[in-house]
């Protein structure tokens, strides 16, 4: 029990630090490193991008969208290598639920937690009851992944990498861009990208609803 409490405390502390860094960096659309390396990385929450940012920048930035980056600096956007990591929509959904649960003392998540309680108290209930037009899907944590990457209903990215092939894609990314990365902690990578064992506990109704809500993510990114 003590080890579980300690683990939860560490997770909450890590999330609080992540949110602090994001909050302090929120006024800069493109960090200086992006312009130096002529790239734009679009960090989609809970899709492996946070691990990449740890290896590349050493800190987190807030979620960015293609439209936001384009409108901020069209010239830079047109010349930069634009990319993102995506993740199986159901695995990402469960990872988001874990993040919210781990951050019970985080002020920024209080309103979101109240919103989730409208749909139920478990991941299965939330997955089964949330609707495609729910305001919940406007929150960056639950927003369909393609919405980060689309502008005027078209994908405007040069490459989409996958969390499921994170190590191989990271090597490929370095080959393409020539950027230098810190060596990621394999334990941290495994913990962040492992498939949640509770996924098998989702009901058929919940899974079908998530597939309906995130149908475009499944289709665009080739997930079954």
Tell me the pLDDT tens digit for each residue of 177-209.
Answer: 999 999 877 877 887 787 765 566 799 999 999
Residue-averaged pLDDT of the chain: 86
Range of the domain at 129: 2-221
pLDDT surpassing 50 at residue 3: no
Give the Cα separation of 10 and 151 in Å (integer): 38
pLDDT at 190: 80
Per the structure, the count of domains in the chain is 1
Q: DSSP string of 137-161?
A: GGSTTTS-THHHHEETTEE--SEEE
Please list the residues that pair with 154 across neighbouring strands: 151
pLDDT at 18: 52
Contact 85, 49 (CB under 8 A): yes
Question: 143: number of CA atoms within 13 Å, CB side?
Answer: 16
The number of residues making up the chain comes to 224
The sign one gets for the Cα dihedral 60, 20, 197, 207 is negative
pLDDT at 192: 78
pLDDT surpassing 90 at residue 161: yes
Task: Report the predicted TM-score, pTM, of the whole model to 2 decimal places.
Answer: 0.83
Q: Which two tokens stand for residue 48?
A: 């492996």
pLDDT at 101: 83
Contact 80, 115 (CB under 8 A): no
């Amino acid at each position: 029990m003590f080890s579980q409490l300690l683990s939860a405390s560490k997770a909450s502390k890590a999330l609080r630090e992540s949110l602090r860094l994001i909050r302090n960096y929120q006024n800069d659309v493109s960090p200086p490193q992006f312009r130096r390396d002529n790239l734009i990385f679009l960090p989609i929450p809970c899709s492996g991008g946070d691990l990449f940012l740890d290896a590349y920048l050493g800190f987190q930035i807030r979620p960015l969208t293609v439209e936001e980056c384009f409108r901020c600096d069209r010239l830079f956007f047109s010349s930069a290598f634009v990319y993102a990591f995506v993740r199986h929509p159901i695995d990402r959904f469960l990872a988001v639920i874990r993040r919210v649960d781990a951050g019970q003392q985080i002020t920024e998540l209080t309103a979101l937690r109240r919103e989730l309680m409208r749909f139920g108290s478990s991941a299965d209930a939330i997955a089964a009851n949330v609707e495609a037009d729910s305001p919940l899907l406007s929150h960056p944590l639950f927003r369909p992944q393609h919405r980060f990457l689309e502008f005027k209903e078209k994908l405007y990215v040069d490459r989409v990498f996958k969390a499921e092939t994170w190590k191989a894609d990271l090597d490929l990314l370095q080959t393409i861009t020539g950027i230098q990365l810190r060596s990621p902690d394999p334990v941290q990578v495994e913990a962040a990208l492992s498939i949640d064992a509770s996924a098998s506990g989702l009901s058929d109704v919940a899974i079908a609803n998530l597939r309906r809500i995130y149908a475009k993510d499944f289709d665009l990114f080739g997930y079954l």
